[in-house]
Amino acid sequence: MAYDDPTTLVSTDWLAQHLQDPDLRVIDASWYLPDAGRDPRAEYQTAHIPGARFFDIDEIADLRSDLPHMAPPVEKFISRMRAMGIGDGHHVVIYDGAGAYSAPRVWWTFRLMGKSDVAVLDGGFPKWQAEGRAVEDLPPVVRDRHMTVQRQAHLVKDVTQVAAASKLSDYAIIDARSPGRFAGTDPEPRPGLRSGHIPGSRNVHFEALLNADGTMKSPDDLRAVFEAAGVNLKKPAITSCGTGVTAAILNLALEVMGHRNHAVYDGSWTEWGMYDDLPVATGPA
């Protein structure tokens, strides 16, 4: 199916038709784990969708935190978006070089800042390129634009809130990591972290939500994946992963399904697995 919802997912056809719209802004939000051996900024400079700006997830973040790429303070987000020529009245479409990996995290960041006119490109840059669509290596022409932000605090959870949710079982806690990492049988890629998962959480590996071409499965198929994993979709949801990036793929899928009450545990396993006083479960959910 082709998604054409400018608040969640849009197809490559949709973006191609709207690429020249004066108030459309496109963002390349590519980000990779260090062992991927890929440089997202260098790849952007080599080829990107015409007019796209580069969003550096590691820099547009709360650098006061010891945890990686935590959500940026409001003032920093506003400053960086104005410098990128993105502001009020713009519709934003976000993509990444993996298909659907880091773009949903930036979609969630915009929503955290109260911006709803923002969507992810379904299938991302790989699908755009496979279809032979236009790319360029030129930097965009940027004009400063005012941005107003209203932070939506309910869209993010901290470790204290997640610990309470784990104990009370009043939220569905959903982990986007691989089954091996969730079960504790595979080591964590970051040294010093315990292996396992938050007690009471369920495992929905983000790849299970995607088709072979990196596009999102249909709402009915998405629902079936969550239900097969034992997720109670009647509860509000908290998503988690390694560092809060791929967790947002789950949030995007939930939103597409019509499940509106969901948040990201921003510290995710990098934070939870660090503290010996927090309980850890192992094995399948």
Residues 184-229 pLDDT 10s: 999 998 888 999 999 999 999 999 999 999 999 999 999 999 999 9
Domain span including residue 44: 9-151
pTM of the model: 0.97
Q: Do the Cβ atoms of 244 and 112 come closer than 8 Å?
A: no
Q: Is residue 117 part of a domain?
A: yes
pLDDT score recorded for residue 189 = 86
Q: Is residue 128 part of a domain?
A: yes
Res 2 pLDDT > 90:
no
Residue 186 annotated as catalytic? no
Active-site residue, from 172, 174, 222, 241: 241
Other CB atoms within a 10 A radius of the CB of residue 197 amount to 26
Same domain, yes or no: 207 and 130? no
Q: Domain ends where: 94, 117, 151?
A: 151
What's the rounded Cα separation, in Å, for the pair 115 and 284?
37
Same domain, yes or no: 217 and 164? yes
Same domain, yes or no: 14 and 146? yes
Between CA 160 and CA 235, with CA 71 as vertex, the angle to 5 degrees is: 50
Q: Is residue 216 part of a domain?
A: yes
Q: Give the CATH number, domain containing residue 64.
A: 3.40.250.10
Q: Domain ends where: 151, 174, 192?
A: 151
Same domain, yes or no: 25 and 147? yes
pLDDT score recorded for residue 190 = 86
Cα torsion through 149, 162, 70, 29, rounded to 10: -80
Residues 17-74 pLDDT 10s: 999 999 999 999 999 988 899 999 999 999 999 999 999 999 999 999 999 999 999 9
Mean pLDDT, residues 147-174 taken together: 98
CA 92 to each of CA 5, 19, 283: distance values in angstroms, whole numbers, following the listed order = 12, 11, 40
Same domain, yes or no: 16 and 82? yes
Q: Where are the alpha helices (DSSP H) in 132-279?
A: 159-168, 179-183, 219-228, 247-257, 268-272
Same domain, yes or no: 258 and 162? yes
When pLDDT is cut at 50, 70 and 90, the band that residue 152 belongs to is very high
Mean pLDDT, residues 257-280 taken together: 97
Q: Is residue 281 part of a domain?
A: no
